Amino acid sequence: MKPALATGSLWEATAEPAPNAPPLEGETHADVAVVGGGFCGLSCALHLADGGRDTVLLEAQSCGWGASGRNGGQLIPCFKDNPEDLVARHGPELGGAMADLGAGSGDLVAGLIARHDIECAFYRDGWILGVHSQAALPAIKERARQWQARGRDVRLLGRDEVAALTGCDHYVAGYLDPTGGGLNPMSLARGMAKAAQRAGARIHASSPAEKIKRAADGWRITTPRGAVSCDQIVLATGAYSGGLMPALRRSILPMQSLQIATEPLPDDIRASILPGDHVVSDTQRLLLYFRLNEEGRLVFGGRGATGGEGIKPAHLARLEATMRNYFPQIGDIPVRYHWAGQVDLTPERALRVHRPEPGIWTVIGFSGRGVAIAPAVGKALAAAVMRGNTVEFPLPVTPMRPLPFHAARRPVMAAAIGLAWLRDRLDRKDGGPPL
């Protein structure tokens, strides 16, 4: 089969239309200004407007332009940390609230989609975590035990079952959370923006927040052609945080994640891959993730470059070779789309919420787990902003911790990635075929 031209984002190509969100022109006032039109900022703006707050959202590009419109569209309703680890780290009240926020995030997103009639090709047939080696298995058994103890209907999958449910034989076991699912993330972002507008929020795309200054009775944010004065600010700029608050940008290690999507699979091949319509990610340090979309395209993701937006042909070629190794049944069916986005990794792979000044909230560090979690965090932030305090806020609020070696991060990250690759490879020797 002759390869089709591989280009662009599948989600962008198949998304619902963008909302009408003209750039900010001139001076305006709001109770709250939210900066960043990804899942976190959009959910925050929606819940603020629902709560009766006059809300302006500033987005530098367009809603969903960042990680929210480019991700794998896998709804995974939990933090990466196990609930008992969260409790051990933050105490029973805060740790328990974090675990609950994660566990409730899938229902929150499903509820938003239903309540606001958001067309985003949403299905909810479960998330599988593929276990890539025997060495990784005890931690996953422990994860299952902890969530089962909290009453969640998760379970372990044996080698044959995970092979049957995924259509590939690379996993020694699996972990199934039936409350996970898949969706078109760009459509979800756009639908959330439209819902926020209907609730009364004013959304301005092509409006990068350039400066934040203290004003007589609050704050003033300037954009190229306008300004918002406001009482409170929420910065939800994720991996795309720029010079607005340099210390925030310096607290993450932006990491590119790359995806490819094939032409729609013929029925016989499609029947052999993810027959139960699960979405999958795995336990490798350099994780892989895959799913089908509603047209039957196989969407397959993995790591890209350690910095910058550009996609390296070598990374693309390696990802495609890995996909064909995992799913030899797709033969030479061509890849039709490829695209990439930046993940806001923190060194500890945990979310960071800060209040650097009275009236300013920042959130960063979803670390690749944000389709369900970021809308839930946006809602929690909206509630905290409306209350004006952190009482009952379900996340730790910490001082900002910019990384000292940030300017030199690329060689450090490249070395860490090389080590992770090696460890994944050594792990796979004790189970699963080598790549």
Ligand X SMILES: Cc1cc2nc3c(=O)[nH]c(=O)nc-3n(C[C@H](O)[C@H](O)[C@H](O)COP(=O)(O)OP(=O)(O)OC[C@H]3O[C@@H](n4cnc5c(N)ncnc54)[C@H](O)[C@@H]3O)c2cc1C
For binding to ligand X (CB under 6 A), which residues are involved? Answer: 35-41, 58-61, 65-68, 70-74, 76, 208-209, 236-242, 244, 257, 259, 289, 301, 341-343, 366, 368-372, 374
Q: Output the smallest distance, CB 284 to ligand X, in A.
A: 15
Tell me how far apart the alpha carbons of residues 187 and 312 are, in angstroms, rounded to a whole number.
27
Q: Output the smallest distance, CB 251 to ligand X, in A.
A: 13
Of 43, 12, 4, the C-alpha closest to 381 is 43
> Rounded to 5 degrees, what are φ and ψ at 342?
-100, 135
Tell me how far apart the alpha carbons of residues 112 and 415 are, in angstroms, rounded to a whole number.
41
Nearer to ligand X, 369 or 428 (CB): 369
Nearer to ligand X, 330 or 372 (CB): 372
Q: Output the smallest distance, CB 402 to ligand X, in A.
A: 17
For ligand X, the nearest residue by Cβ is 370
Q: Output the smallest distance, CB 170 to ligand X, in A.
A: 19
In this structure, the number of other CB atoms found within 10 A of the CB of residue 364 comes to 25
Nearer to ligand X, 195 or 431 (CB): 195
Tell me how far apart the alpha carbons of residues 63 and 157 are, in angstroms, rounded to a whole number.
38
Q: Output the smallest distance, CB 137 to ligand X, in A.
A: 23
Q: Output the smallest distance, CB 7 to ligand X, in A.
A: 16
Tell me how far apart the alpha carbons of residues 423 and 188 are, in angstroms, rounded to a whole number.
36
Enter the DSSP assignment of 9: -
Nearer to ligand X, 104 or 208 (CB): 208
Return the residue matching tokens 């609950």: 100
Enter the DSSP assignment of 174: E
β strands within 205-359, DSSP E: 211-215, 218-223, 226-235, 253-262, 279-282, 289-292, 298-303, 335-345, 352-357
Nearer to ligand X, 42 or 330 (CB): 42
Nearer to ligand X, 61 or 346 (CB): 61
